[in-house]
Amino acid sequence: MTQTTDYVNTPRVLIVDDMMVNRTILASMLDYHGIGTDLAECGQECIDLCRKNEYDLILLDHRMPDMDGVDTLLVLKDIFKESGHEIPVICHTTEEGKNNINLYKAAGFADVLIKPIDPGVLAGMLMKYIPGVREEASEAKEEQEHEEHVNAELEQLPSWVIDVSGLDPASGIERCGTAADYMDALKIFASSINERADEIEQYNAGMEREMYIARMGSLYSIAALVGADSIAERASKLEQAAKDSEHKLPDEETSDLLREYRGMLEHLKPLIVQEEPPVKKKNKITMYATVIGQPVLFIGEDKGIVSKGIIKSLSDIGFKIISIRDELEEIDRHKREASLILYYPTGDVIHIKHIATRLAEISRDENKTLCLTGEPLDISSALKSHDSHFVSAVYPRPVDHEKLTTEMKRFATMQTEYNRIKNVLLIDDDTDFLKIIASWLEQDYDIDCASSDKDAMYFLKYTVPDLVVLDDELQGLSGLDIMQKIRDDSRTKRVPIIILSEKNDRETVMKILLHKPDGYLLKSMPKESLLEAIDRFFVGSILQNH
């Protein structure tokens, strides 16, 4: 359903998203900045509106049925060309990490906005693309906090690591996140120096171009990860030189690189120790739940006719209702008792915003589902609170009880699915990189690894993972070939696939997007960004599937 609003002398933004909740939340966030919005739930409605109206900005969801964001963007570009007026289009998506802006720009988007939407990030983009919008996020403060974090982690490193020639530990911590994770990555880097250098030397001597290119690409990734910037830069240049030359591999330059590379082992010897293989930590198993007996924290006046009716409707279908007053002490005392929160705001505006802000914080920090019900004006007051984009649904009076109970059952299922430990299959022939990524993810996910196309296909023959994270440049079958095989198999065709790539040039981006993976991440992403991207992907998938 399309919703349009008339505004005079105010900026207008078109929000395109197939989920009503997302459209409503974005509209309320833009309203806070005094920006008018039109809403569309699919690509075709977006196109129809753009043929009739002029907008200052378009927020376009990437994953939609029928026409996805890329398909819609291509049509919009033709409309802009015809009208002579280019409108910036921002892709909002759950699929990419913060470092993937260049990928979407290569596809034609002006920028990318990650769900769940951060109000500060949104404010910054509005200021960038719509003149006169007030900036709320302090980039200088964020940079200062980030610098303080890196410096604090650097102090945790052994002093000898700081002194290693050719190593930039600050760059490595930028990528790995913490001193402990950086030391783990550095240990993997050091332990494979001789083997990797010998392989490159062998492929260079035998003029095995494809294997040489693959190993140089892998060396670039692992060296950049640990802050061995000189080695990473030289490996990248030699990889490109081997691609450009049809007759000769760069012998002298390769020897110089391997000399520097092997030379680092002498400095990193303290890391090469024999250890017992680590015992993989098992995540706590979360069993599937049903609506029967699931608690709902009902916050607010529970004696009125409307609230009594809501409580009865939810009780009748099996929910256990925990009813408390809308007081901060009560909320903090009972917040751990339910994953579903239903707030019935009453009272003055300041009180409502205060309570709503706290509930949004709890929903954000503890992965709870927050819904609002009650008088439309009170709900509107609650939605103007900080972090209101964490509200999943609103049920204004007169309450549609059938809709409320249906959606609360869906939210209960989503909470169960969210808490279930997901299985992720990592496929990459760079075993060092595979180890590092696996160590990053295994605290939150059940991880399996395949270091070749054969291992991957054997695994998939017997197991259906929740997600495949796939290197696009494997030896043997390419990543795209494996993706096609997964989709051709009736058992695995619905398994989502995220491509993990070293490249973000336009040619690579367009080639990958043509195959429409469920996500596209860069190997150069910092640990934090990669984890956030995987987490967002699962949250987005759950929302879309329910």
Q: What contacts 24+ positions apart, CB below 8 Å, involve 243-249?
A: 243/213, 249/204, 249/207, 249/209, 249/212
Contact call for residues 204 and 212 (beta carbons, < 8 A): yes
Answer yes or no: is 278 within a domain: no
Strands 340-344 and 369-374: parallel
Q: Which residue has the tokens 């930039």?
A: 168
Answer yes or no: is 164 within a domain: yes
Digit-by-digit pLDDT tens for the chain (546 residues) are 444 444 345 788 999 988 776 787 788 778 777 788 899 989 999 999 999 888 999 999 887 877 888 889 889 988 988 888 889 999 887 655 455 566 666 778 888 888 777 777 787 788 888 876 544 434 555 677 778 888 999 999 998 998 888 899 999 998 898 899 999 999 999 999 999 999 999 988 888 888 888 888 889 989 999 999 999 999 999 988 888 877 778 888 999 999 999 999 888 988 876 444 444 443 433 333 456 778 999 999 878 888 999 999 999 988 999 999 999 999 999 998 988 999 999 999 999 999 999 998 888 777 788 999 999 999 999 988 766 777 888 999 899 999 999 888 888 877 776 667 788 999 998 889 899 999 998 888 889 999 888 898 888 888 889 899 999 888 878 888 899 999 999 889 888 898 888 877 777 777 787 788 887 788 877 888 788 778 777 765 554 554
Answer yes or no: is 279 within a domain: no
pTM of the complete model: 0.54
99 and 43 in one domain? yes
509 and 435 in one domain? yes
Dist CA 336 CA 430 (whole Å): 42
The residue out of 69, 102, 137 marking a domain boundary is 137
Q: What is the DSSP string of 211-238?
A: HHHHHHHHHHHHHHHHT-HHHHHHHHHH
The residue out of 137, 168, 188 marking a domain boundary is 137
Contact call for residues 75 and 51 (beta carbons, < 8 A): no
512 and 439 in one domain? yes
Burial of 461 (0-12, 13-18, 19+ CB in 10 A): exposed
Answer yes or no: is 43 within a domain: yes
Using alpha carbons only, give the angle 108, 472, 281 rounded to the nearest 5 degrees.
115
In total, the chain counts a number of residues equal to 546
What pLDDT sits at residue 84?
83
Answer yes or no: is 289 within a domain: no
101 and 159 in one domain? no
40 and 93 in one domain? yes
Answer yes or no: is 7 within a domain: no
352 and 466 in one domain? no
388 and 439 in one domain? no
As for how many domains the chain has, the answer is 4
Dist CA 295 CA 13 (whole Å): 39
427 and 377 in one domain? no
Answer yes or no: is 415 within a domain: no
Which residues pair with residue 341 across a beta bridge? 297, 370
Q: Which domain holds residue 25?
A: 12-137
Dist CA 507 CA 165 (whole Å): 36
What pLDDT sits at residue 9?
58
236 and 168 in one domain? yes
Dist CA 171 CA 177 (whole Å): 10
The residue out of 137, 162, 188 marking a domain boundary is 137
Could you give phi then psi for residue 104, rounded to 5 degrees?
Answer: -70, -35
69 and 164 in one domain? no
367 and 443 in one domain? no
Q: Give which of 63, 14, 39, 37 is closest to 543, Cα–Cα.
A: 63
What pLDDT sits at residue 101?
61
CATH number at 430 reads 3.40.50.2300
What pLDDT sits at residue 3?
45
284: tokens are: 């706590």
Answer yes or no: is 62 within a domain: yes
Q: Give which of 526, 537, 454 is closest to 177, Cα–Cα.
A: 526
Q: Which residue has the tokens 């009880």?
A: 401
360 and 439 in one domain? no
